[in-house]
Amino acid sequence: MQRFALIGAGFIGAVHAANLAANPGVDFRLVYDVDLSRARTLAAAHGTRAASSLDEVFDASAIDAVFIASSTDTHAQHLRRAAEAGLAVLCEKPIDLDLERARETAAFAAERAIPVMVDFNRRFDRDYAELKRIVDAGEIGRVELIQLSSRGPAMPPLSYIATSGGQMRDQTVHFFDLARWLTGLDPVEVFATGSALAEPRLAEYGDVDTSAVTLRLHGGALVQIDCARRTGYGYDERIEIMGSTGMAEARRHRAGAVSRYQAGRVTDDGLHPGWFERVQPTYAAALAHFVDALDGVLKGGPDGGADGAGAGTRTLITPSLEDGLKAQAIAEAATASLRSGRSETIRYEPSPAFSAAPGSD
């Protein structure tokens, strides 16, 4: 069992705490939060202990892996300290809102060869995994056009918006990652446009709540992403992929599958009330992937053989640091496009250090 410490006892930290406690491959040792009382409450709920200091969290004699679910502005410093201690890391996105600092921190971690996964949890959605299989198997031919929608049910508080980095970095970035993952291609150019329709005060933060983004992939295929912070009808997310010989679609998820037939009308169940209800299972699936892959890295020797025999099959822990940086680079270019009103070239700067990191992509 992998000995885990969780950093962060807020909403998303509580989600991860429940999954850590339920995973049979995890020995859930510690919860740390700057608010010790909050850490104690969460720890007590899951039969573990609150850490009084970060020194306990980064003690390699007692901990194998750290789950970073604290505020965004602390991710980089915690990742760096975990790397110094030689601990594995599962980190909420982003590594840091500043792309250059994120790159420096990722390179620091990669140079120390620690296993790291960035928690782009939507890759672990069952339907999206099936889309990936269909594309990889060539069942719809060459990918030519992708449509992704992410339409949230309600505006988050302005206090959250002020520190989120903006819609491209906070919301749309998940779909930048999905576009890369589903196609196996890195976008080369982006055009983004948006408006503050649901909350006009967003303009004070240079942000939008309704946006449309077009990505051009290598080879000319196009990706269209529409995002909205407020729908008024529930959380609405779907993906459609058109290929040269067919099309595959992951449809909107309804809260149920019951239809009510009455005189003159048919009533179906509506959409989930919020984004969390829609994606909740993906968090546990992402953790399970990390724990299984980490076990393979630790038992399989240099090649990370998943069978523990070092048989030459490398265990891949993805989404990797480089995946996180590439999605963030797209978000940066999209944010620049929102401001400039023109297409922007996406600039990737991969580090050679990533090739040496166990479990990296």
CA 323 from chain centre, in angstroms, equals 10
Q: Where are the domains of the chain?
A: 1-114, 120-353
Q: What is the mean pLDDT of residues 35-62?
A: 97
What local confidence, expressed as pLDDT, does residue 296 receive? 80
SS3 351: coil
* pLDDT over 50 at 164, yes or no: yes
Q: How far is CA 355 from CA 62, 184, 352, in A?
A: 29, 18, 6
Q: Among candidates 31, 29, 26, which has minimal Cα distance to 50?
A: 31
What local confidence, expressed as pLDDT, does residue 295 receive? 84
Gap between the Cα atoms of 200 and 193, Å rounded = 15
Amino acid symbol at 326: K
Gap between the Cα atoms of 43 and 35, Å rounded = 12
Please report, rounded to a whole number, the percentage of residues in the chain having pLDDT higher than 70.
Answer: 91
What local confidence, expressed as pLDDT, does residue 18 receive? 98
- Which comes out higher in pLDDT, residue 353 or 76? 76
The CATH class of the 120-353 domain is alpha beta
pLDDT band at 361; cut points 50, 70, 90: very low
pLDDT in tens, 313-330: 345 689 999 999 999 999
Neighbours of 170 (CB within 10 A): 22
Q: What are phi and psi of 257, to 5 degrees?
A: -125, 30
Q: How far is CA 315 from CA 36, 302, 311, 312, 356, in A?
A: 36, 10, 11, 9, 13
Gap between the Cα atoms of 33 and 9, Å rounded = 6
pTM of the model as a whole: 0.90
Task: State the sign of the Cα–Cα–Cα–Cα dihedral 296, 299, 302, 305.
Answer: negative
pLDDT in tens, 180-215: 999 999 999 999 999 999 999 998 888 999 999 999
Lowest-confidence pick of 17-26, 152-161, 278-287, 292-301? 292-301
Q: What are the start-end ranges of the H helices in 223-316?
A: 275-299
Gap between the Cα atoms of 63 and 86, Å rounded = 10
pLDDT in tens, 227-251: 999 999 999 999 999 999 999 999 9
What local confidence, expressed as pLDDT, does residue 197 receive? 96
Gap between the Cα atoms of 99 and 87, Å rounded = 23
pLDDT in tens, 251-274: 999 999 899 999 999 999 999 999
**Residues 324, 316 contacting (CB under 8 angstroms):** no
* pLDDT over 80 at 356, yes or no: no
- Which CATH number applies to 1-114: 3.40.50.720, 3.30.470.20, 2.60.34.10, 3.40.640.10? 3.40.50.720
Gap between the Cα atoms of 23 and 182, Å rounded = 27
Please state whether beta strands 65-68 and 2-7 pair in parallel, antiparallel, or not at all (unpaired): parallel
What local confidence, expressed as pLDDT, does residue 351 receive? 53
